[in-house]
């Protein structure tokens, strides 16, 4: 009978182990632990034993029952936890609203050029400064050696608010502002920004466009420094030995003045020089008005046409494409859309 009890114990443990859900476990309970279950029946076998043997066997059955019941309870707990977790998982509610699918933009081709040129100059120790687009006549013209009535003012037809205030016609007023701010100390700056001139808009003209001004003031700054700077920047921009041509020119704020062309290969393979910037040695009057002694300090300045460069680099034929914000046009210049 001891063997029988041992076998029953193993069977019950096996049944408990095999139950993989609460329903199966309940069947195990009914089969073994209920009033008519196998364990009660085992107790019933006591009848067949002699009165002396009964207490010892009875105790053995009870001990066995305790062991398997313990095992049963552990299994029950385990299955209940699993059941609860499953329920929680299946009843999970997503409380989030679906998000708006915003398209991320891309960098405008004009800003790509500005970033590229700024990187070059920052790497070479220049500071990037900005100035206002609504400017005083004082900075835009007078301090740039274009006093009231100067005939060269007519080269830059302007939008005036009143006789003293206008939309800046170039980024050069930032030269004057920076010189005053630096109070006679050497400086190296670039200034990218928007500029405005009265113009009939067409394929190559716009009443609003962008420039990058450059100004270096110090002791012993020479024309050779200017030439080297421009050549080096163009090599960087055009990724190689750029063919640069300097032509004498005239700006009231530089002396001597030059215009700078780059030899550019067109789509059909022919080559052509295209003007991309104006430059020169800072005029002594400009230095003086900016608070620098022209006997001690010299400097060079340049003004780069950003649209020009962008049109060359990206083979864009109509300047108006830059301003109409047609996404089909803009997305050509970046992978990020």
Under the rule (CB under 6 A), what is the footprint of ligand PHE?
170, 172, 251, 254, 278-280, 301-303
Residue written as token pair 């109509």: 318
Report how far residue 295's alpha carbon sits from residue 320's, in angstroms, rounded to the nearest whole number: 45
Cβ-based nearer residue to ligand PHE, 172 or 298: 172
Closest residue to ligand PHE, Cβ-based? 303
Query: 295-333 b/e with 16+ CB inside 10 Å = b?
Result: eebbbbbbbbbbbbbbbbbeebeebebbeeeeeeebeeb
> Residue 245's closest CA among 279, 296, 283, 202?
279
Please state the closest distance from residue 255 (CB atom) to ligand PHE, in A: 10
CB of 301 to ligand PHE, least distance (A): 4
Report d(CA 195, CA 167) in Å as an integer. 7
Please choose, from the candidates 71, 14, 78, 5, the residue with its C-alpha nearest in 3D space to the C-alpha of residue 39. Answer: 5
Question: In terms of CB distance, is 207 or 331 closer to ligand PHE?
Answer: 207
CB-nearer residue toward ligand PHE: 11 or 158:
158
Q: How far is the CB of 236 from ligand PHE (least distance, A)?
A: 19
Cβ density class 197-217: b for 16+ within 10 Å, e for less:
beeeeeeeebebbbbbbbbbb
206 vs 254, beta carbon nearer ligand PHE: 254
Nearer to ligand PHE, 172 or 321 (CB): 172
* Nearer Cβ to ligand PHE (75/170): 170
Q: Tell the smallest beta-carbon distance from residue 326 to ligand PHE (Å).
A: 28
Tell me the CA end-to-end span of the chain in Å, nearest whole number: 82
Backbone angles phi, psi at 269, to 5 degrees: 95, -15
The distance of closest approach from Cβ of residue 212 to ligand PHE in the complex, given in angstroms and rounded to an integer, is 10
Q: Report in angstroms how near the CB of residue 280 gets to ligand PHE at its nearest.
A: 5
């Amino acid at each position: 009978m001891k063997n029988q009890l041992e076998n029953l114990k193993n069977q019950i443990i096996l049944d408990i182990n095999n139950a993989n859900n609460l329903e199966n476990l309940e069947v195990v309970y009914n089969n073994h632990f209920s009033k008519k279950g196998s364990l009660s029946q085992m107790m019933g076998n006591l009848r067949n034993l002699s009165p002396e043997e009964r207490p010892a066997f009875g105790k053995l059955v009870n001990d066995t029952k305790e062991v398997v019941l313990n095992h049963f309870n552990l299994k029950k707990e385990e299955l209940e936890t699993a059941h609860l977790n499953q329920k929680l998982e299946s009843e999970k509610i997503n409380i989030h609203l679906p998000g708006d699918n915003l398209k991320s933009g891309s960098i405008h081709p004009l800003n790509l050029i500005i970033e590229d040129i700024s990187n070059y100059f920052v790497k070479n120790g220049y500071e990037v400064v900005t100035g206002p687009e609504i400017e005083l006549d004082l900075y835009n013209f007078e301090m740039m050696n274009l006093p009231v009535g100067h005939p060269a003012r007519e080269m830059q037809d302007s939008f005036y608010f009143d006789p003293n205030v206008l939309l800046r016609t170039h980024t050069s007023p930032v030269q004057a502002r920076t010189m005053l701010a630096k109070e006679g100390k050497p400086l190296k700056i670039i200034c990218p920004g928007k500029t405005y001139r009265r113009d009939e808009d067409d394929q190559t003209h716009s009443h609003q466009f962008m420039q990058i001004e450059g100004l270096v003031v110090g002791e012993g700054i020479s024309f050779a420094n200017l030439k080297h700077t421009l050549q080096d920047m163009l090599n960087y921009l055009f990724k190689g030995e750029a063919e640069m041509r300097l032509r004498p020119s005239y700006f009231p704020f530089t002396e001597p003045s030059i215009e700078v062309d780059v030899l550019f290969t067109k789509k059909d393979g022919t080559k052509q020089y295209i003007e991309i910037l104006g430059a020169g040695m800072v005029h002594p009057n400009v230095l003086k008005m900016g608070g620098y002694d022209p006997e001690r300090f010299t400097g060079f300045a340049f003004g780069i046409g950003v649209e020009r460069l962008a049109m060359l680099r990206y083979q864009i034929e109509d300047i108006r494409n830059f301003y109409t914000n047609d996404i089909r046009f803009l997305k050509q210049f970046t992978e990020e859309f």
